[in-house]
Amino acid sequence: MKGYLHLENGESFEGALPLNGQETFAKGEVVFFTGMTGYQEVLTDPSYKNQIIVFTYPLIGNYGINEFDFESKKPHVAGVIIYETKDSHSHYNGKHSLKQYLAKWNVPLLTHVDTRAVVKRIRVEGTMQAVISNEPFVKVEAQTTVLNPVKDVTCTQIETFGSGDMHIVLVDLGYKKSILQSLLDRGCKVTIVPYTTSHKVIEELHPNGVVLSNGPGDPKAVQDYLPTIRKILEQFPTLAICLGHQLVALSLGGDTKKLKFGHRGANQPVTDLVSNKVFITSQNHSYVVDEDSLTGTGLQARFKNSNDGSIEGMAHCEYPILSVQFHPEAHPGPAESSWIFDEFIGKNCNSRREKIYA
């Protein structure tokens, strides 16, 4: 069946939709992901909520879907656009094909699209609203209101994992399972709380530190939670990842802005301004912290993107805060950034361990 990607600017791209009764309509912001692998993690990353993903690599799905690499219990993408995929897959852990998995969750899949042309259009005009449809003509309206997709991906109740001596509260803005696992691997006890949890409740959990997770959407859509985040930052050692990093800046008086087409992929080089080392990171974000807005906040850049110079992480001159725009729980290589968790636990949490409740 013929299918189409319709863009907000009036352009359309033809492709093919599956003939299996699967959903043929999706609406969302169209973005592109440059990784050759990792599609299973992308599909189940809550940060992609309400987005239509264009995979730039021409063949997606060749190693199938396994039972281990899910970042959440279900896919969050609005739709998927690829050039080619196969019904078969080849990997000893593979249980399902990409087509089977998307069909199970009724996520529209548009194939045989000129993904190079789509990506070039996004790079020139920026991310925009789009529609996947079997109709050749669809008018796509611009998004005029600020949505809060965090409320759709956060947990609904408090839950604890592990039993280590180091107790970390993970504020769920749409967290990836790999973040939880990274903390558990380091012997932490982790309590996951909804992002609307009050400072008082978090304080009563007596954590040694707090992690503000990744999540979807515009950070300014969760302005109501900023006073709570500021209280957390003033009391507890804090590690903030992706959306959490942006909220740290906003809560202390900084500002954020939207990139033209964002950073999404497993090949983003980042420079640590302390060690002057460069490492390759996995990223997924549309918004960045405006460096000029940090004056007077106590925050300063700790990491920068080696390509465009945008802020990739911050530290505070007084509070034990470490924030990163990239994903330290991901492992794109060759020089990994998972040491961010070790620095947070070993330096920030341990140094304040005896002082928090004094």
What positions carry a catalytic annotation? 242, 327, 329
Q: Before 108, cis peptide (omega within 30)?
A: no
Task: For residue 39, give the 3-state DSSP assignment.
Answer: helix
The DSSP element (H or E) to which 170 belongs, if any, is strand 166-172
**Angle, in degrees to the nearest 10, between helices 226-235 and 243-251:** 90
How far apart CA 105 and CA 99 sit, in angstroms, is 10
> 191: part of which helix (H) or strand (E)?
strand 188-194
Rounded CA separation 41/225 (Å): 27
Distance separating alpha carbons of residues 9 and 335, to the nearest angstrom: 40
The vertex-166 CA angle with 163 and 169, nearest 5°, equals 85
Whether the CB-CB separation of 54 and 81 falls below 8 Å is answered with yes
